[in-house]
């Protein structure tokens, strides 16, 4: 049988006497669903937030019997229609449904369903908001040979106003300022000064405001130069070695290291009348060769284990737009040995997506680690936090932060 015999009439009759015949029968040929499509669909379904859009599902119209068509949003059942080749639903744009799949399934003749799928993209209407900077603390090391240059990105609508203040509250009118609009609610503020004076070092407050609130960013500008030499250096000689003690001075605005070098020293015969000290050998005024073969270095104030006491995370809370770069920093207390920082997204270890550095103060080490990833809508509501420890079995962690990822904004 072919499709051309579909709905044809069939009967059988006695050749010799046509009055003997069977009742007529209508032939129905089973044809499965083999073509299913969604409209509109160009790879994804774009919806406007809070607005309804009609979506149509069409099946090949020669399917016999007419199929049952079922709609799903993700794994959630929406509705079902029997005995039809075309059906539609009205779906409202909700930001919670962003990146979900909309599925239309059709089946007949007890066969596995055929499915048409599209991904939902919800365009969110923009709302008013107070300024939200990507970070609230900036530390800037500035050598004598370069100028001051820093920038910060802020989410705000309407566009923000800014004011850079010195630590004493006076307005700084010396630094050059530029503002760049990246999107309707996204701005980058940049400040720079080509020639640095000693008075330029210190703490600044950057106030960013609009009618809905004020955000403050703290900028610490430190001088970077050659470190000062250590102070209170003492050397204690022993039979087979020596102990060197010192106190570190200003580190030049960056991590400093110390190197102790041992030299072979030889003294000849003493022919003078001055009193001689006995280093080795006899008292006859002859000093034998003394070779220092071992030097043990002690840092004068920090010869013990100092546990990490806290780790701070900035910024908090964490609110980003999907696709926007997310930069989060964790900083430990000064301790020894150096603390190790571990990052988590809920229960997943994401430390391999971070980079870190340390600085030294008075023999103790502070660890800083920065997480830099793009915000993804599926991460909305997840917990982001770091832990730190420098002794086995002992760890500290900051307050756990809930990540809020907003939809891409659309200027309507």
Query: How many secondary structure helices (H) and strands (E) does the chain include?
Result: 0, 34
pLDDT of the residue at 112: 92
| One domain, residues 334 and 274 | no
| Residues of the domain holding 377 | 311-410
The answer to whether residue 19 sits within a structural domain is no
The tens digit of pLDDT for each residue in 334-347 reads 888 889 999 998 88
Q: Are 371 and 345 in contact (CB under 8 A)?
A: no
DSSP secondary structure letter of residue 13: B
User: Residue 389 corresponds to which tokens in the numbers above?
Assistant: 């420890």
Rounded Cα–Cα distance for residues 227 and 245 (Å): 18
Q: Domain boundary residue among 166, 194, 224?
A: 224
pLDDT of the residue at 268: 40
| One domain, residues 107 and 56 | yes
Rounded Cα–Cα distance for residues 184 and 410 (Å): 8
| One domain, residues 56 and 106 | yes
Banded model confidence at residue 262, pLDDT cuts 50, 70, 90: low
The answer to whether residue 7 sits within a structural domain is no
Q: Is the model's pLDDT at 10 over the cut of 80?
A: no
Specify the higher pLDDT residue, 359 or 2.
359
pLDDT of the residue at 331: 93
| One domain, residues 60 and 109 | yes
Q: Domain boundary residue among 93, 123, 153?
A: 123
The tens digit of pLDDT for each residue in 136-161 reads 999 888 887 788 999 999 988 888 99
The answer to whether residue 156 sits within a structural domain is yes
The answer to whether residue 240 sits within a structural domain is yes
| One domain, residues 336 and 400 | yes
78 CB contacts (<8 Å, ≥6 apart)? Answer: 71, 72, 89
Q: Is the model's pLDDT at 303 over the cut of 70?
A: no
The answer to whether residue 23 sits within a structural domain is no
Banded model confidence at residue 236, pLDDT cuts 50, 70, 90: confident
Banded model confidence at residue 253, pLDDT cuts 50, 70, 90: low
Q: Is the model's pLDDT at 64 over the cut of 70?
A: yes
Q: Are 286 and 279 in contact (CB under 8 A)?
A: no
Q: Is the model's pLDDT at 365 over the cut of 70?
A: yes
pLDDT of the residue at 409: 54
pLDDT of the residue at 323: 82
The answer to whether residue 20 sits within a structural domain is no
Q: Is the model's pLDDT at 292 over the cut of 60?
A: no
Q: Is the model's pLDDT at 288 over the cut of 60?
A: no
| One domain, residues 117 and 181 | no
The answer to whether residue 1 sits within a structural domain is no
For residue 79, CA distances in Å to 72, 114, 322 come to 8, 16, 31
pLDDT of the residue at 283: 30
The answer to whether residue 9 sits within a structural domain is no
0.85 surpassed by pTM: no
Q: Domain boundary residue among 272, 300, 328?
A: 300
Banded model confidence at residue 300, pLDDT cuts 50, 70, 90: very low
Q: Supply φ then ψ for residue 182, to 5 degrees.
A: -85, -30
| One domain, residues 332 and 396 | yes
| One domain, residues 194 and 242 | no
- How much is the mean pLDDT over the chain? 80
Specify the higher pLDDT residue, 77 or 1.
77
Q: Domain total for the chain?
A: 4
Specify the higher pLDDT residue, 393 or 54.
54
The tens digit of pLDDT for each residue in 81-117 reads 999 999 999 999 887 888 899 999 999 988 899 999 9
CATH number at residue 333: 2.60.40.10
């Amino acid at each position: 049988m072919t499709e051309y015999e579909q709905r044809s009439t069939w009967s059988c009759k006695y050749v010799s006497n046509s009055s003997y015949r069977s009742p007529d029968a209508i032939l129905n040929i089973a044809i499965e669903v083999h073509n299913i499509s969604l409209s509109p669909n160009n790879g994804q379904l774009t919806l406007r937030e809070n607005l309804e859009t009609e979506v149509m599902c069409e099946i090949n119209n020669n399917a016999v019997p007419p199929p049952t068509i079922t709609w799903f949003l993700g794994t959630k059942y929406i509705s079902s229609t029997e005995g039809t080749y075309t059906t539609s639903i009205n779906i409202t744009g909700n930001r919670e449904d962003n990146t979900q799949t909309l599925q239309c399934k059709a089946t007949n003749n007890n066969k596995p369903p055929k499915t048409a799928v599209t991904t939902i993209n919800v365009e969110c209407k923009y709302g008013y908001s107070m300024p939200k900077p990507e970070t609230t603390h900036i530390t800037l090391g500035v050598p004598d040979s370069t100028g001051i240059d820093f920038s910060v990105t802020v989410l705000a609508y309407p566009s923000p106003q800014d004011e850079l203040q010195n630590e004493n509250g006076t307005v700084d009118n010396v630094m050059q300022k530029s503002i760049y609009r990246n999107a309707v609610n996204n701005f980058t503020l940049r400040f720079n000064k080509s020639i640095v004076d000693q008075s330029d070092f210190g703490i600044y407050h950057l106030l960013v405001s609009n009618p809905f609130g004020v955000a403050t960013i703290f900028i610490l500008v430190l001088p970077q130069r050659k470190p000062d030499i250590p102070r209170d250096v003492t050397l204690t000689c022993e039979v087979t070695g020596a102990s060197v003690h010192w106190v570190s001075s200003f580190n030049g605005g960056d991590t400093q290291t110390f190197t102790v070098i041992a030299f072979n020293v030889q003294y000849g015969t003493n022919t003078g009348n001055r009193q001689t000290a006995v280093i080795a050998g006899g008292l006859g005024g002859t000093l034998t060769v003394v070779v220092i073969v071992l030097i043990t270095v002690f840092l004068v104030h920090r010869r013990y284990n100092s546990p990490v006491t806290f780790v701070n995370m900035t910024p908090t809370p964490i609110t980003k737009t999907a696709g926007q770069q997310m930069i989060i920093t964790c900083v430990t207390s000064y301790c020894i040995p150096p603390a190790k920082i571990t990052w988590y997204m809920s229960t997943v270890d994401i430390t391999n997506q971070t980079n870190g550095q340390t600085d030294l103060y008075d023999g103790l080490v502070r660890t800083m680690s920065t997480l830099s990833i793009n915000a993804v809508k599926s991460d909305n509501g997840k917990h982001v936090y770091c832990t730190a420890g420098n002794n086995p079995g002992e760890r500290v962690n900051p307050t756990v932060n809930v990540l809020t990822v907003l939809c891409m904004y659309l200027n309507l």
